[in-house]
Structure 1
Amino acid sequence: MSKILFVMTGADHWTLADGTRHPTGFWAEEAAAPYEAFRAAGHDVVVATPGGVEPTMDQGSLAPELNGGQEGSDRVARTVASMSELKHPVKLSDVDLDDYAAVFYPGGHGPMEDLSVDTESGGLLTAALDSGKPLGVVCHGPAALLAATRD
């Protein structure tokens, strides 16, 4: 079995242009659906965040109207609740890319708060691109690419 690295936001808010803090985190379905697919294919998933903090789910991402109704919302919520990897993330600074077959960045507004400026994440992205390993970034996850610079 190969391991897939999920790099997730550690932010629980997004600072808006006027300085106010909007509650956020990762988008539930953008983590749950790939998680289910990777696990069904026999892969292990490891979650990493800046500082190894437990990622916060954006509660708005469970709105029934965003998940095809209450049944869809409940299914996504069950999947997220089953993701034990969320409870014990590793620190981005402790990640060794050689341990993983692929890297995946779920979205949500949280990555715009922390991953967009996180040098550990930026270095990991650059290394993943250089390695040729599969790299997936979803929805607002590409905000993390802002930190992927070369000196």
Structure 2
Amino acid sequence: MARILMVLSGVDHWTLTDGSKHPSGYWAEEFVVPHRIFGEAGFTVDVAAPTGGKPAADPVSLRPEVAGPEADEFAVYIDAAAEVLADPLALPDVDTARYDAIFLPGGHGPMEDLAHDPDLGRILVEADAAGKIIAPVCHGPAALLSANLPGGHWLFAGRALTVFTDEEERLNGTADRAPWLVETVLAARGAVVRSAKAWEAHVVVDGNLYSGQNPASSKPLAERLVAELTGH
């Protein structure tokens, strides 16, 4: 069966424009739902993070008023995965050839570390060259910014994708404090951003690049990967 590398942010904060550190990390739903779907499909899932990083769920993503009635279920799932999350595979040690797909959950954490991680950049370049699926969701596409080629060319320039939109960031109440907006920066680097209405589940596929717009897109994105990797 397929083997998935799930790359999580290794920080528990997001640095805002005023220099303060806002509690953050990975978005719970975007880890739990795909991880569960992949497991139910019989896939092996390895969790990885930057060297020394210990993935932490954004506390807001575990609040019922934000995450909905499944928030408690997400917390239970994360607790059950505590051993895996406490000792993730370090990105420098990743052998890209072992995996069929790279999955990148969001949360604001990836903007803090994954977007600038050279080891992740190496993994993404290798995965793309081998035609392996690369699948970021929500703020996860920020991690794609790490994939730079010689001469400063960005690997994903000209590719179609979706991402947590500037509108959604404004509706979330975080746009004014964000040091940069993911949609704006990806578009400036040359991505072809295809967005749906705010908070609507939306998946875009361009070759081996599969992307989801927001937390609600986690489930359909994971299901698309399962369908592709199982041939169903």
> After TM superposition, is the score higher than 0.5?
yes
Q: Where does residue 97 of structure 2 map in the other structure? A: 98
| 8 Å contact kept, 1:52–1:90 | no
Residue 15 (structure 2) pairs with residue 4 (structure 1): no
| 8 Å contact kept, 1:115–1:147 | yes
The alignment yields a C-alpha RMSD, in angstroms, of 1.2
Which of 70, 73, 76 aligns to 2:71? It is 73
User: Which letter does structure 2 place at the counterpart of 1:73?
Assistant: A
What is the CA distance between 1:131 and its match in structure 2?
A: 1.3
What is the CA distance between 1:59 and its match in structure 2?
A: 0.9
In 1, Cα distance between the equivalents of 2:20 and 2:66?
25
In 2, Cα distance between the equivalents of 1:65 and 1:126?
39
Greater RCO (Cα-Cα under 8 Å, separation 6 or more):
1
The count of aligned residue pairs is 149
Aligned pairs for 1:14-25 within 5 A: 14-25=14-25
| 8 Å contact kept, 1:48–1:92 | yes
| 8 Å contact kept, 2:11–2:54 | no
Which of 1 and 2 has greater Rg?
2
Residue 43 (structure 2) pairs with residue 62 (structure 1): no
In 2, Cα distance between the equivalents of 1:64 and 1:37?
21
What is the CA distance between 1:111 and its match in structure 2?
A: 0.3
The TM-score normalised by the length of structure 1 is 0.93
| 8 Å contact kept, 2:111–2:142 | yes
Residues 81-120 of structure 1: CA deviation (Å, up to 9, x unaligned): 2224212201100000111111100100000000011111
User: Which letter does structure 1 place at the counterpart of 2:141?
Assistant: P
Aligned pairs for 1:2-151 within 5 A: 2-69=2-69, 72-83=70-81, 84-151=83-150
Structure 1 gaps, min length 5: none
What is the CA distance between 1:66 and its match in structure 2?
A: 2.3
| 8 Å contact kept, 1:45–1:85 | no
Identity of aligned residues (%): 48
| 8 Å contact kept, 1:115–1:143 | yes
What is the CA distance between 1:6 and its match in structure 2?
A: 0.5
In 1, Cα distance between the equivalents of 2:130 and 2:77?
31
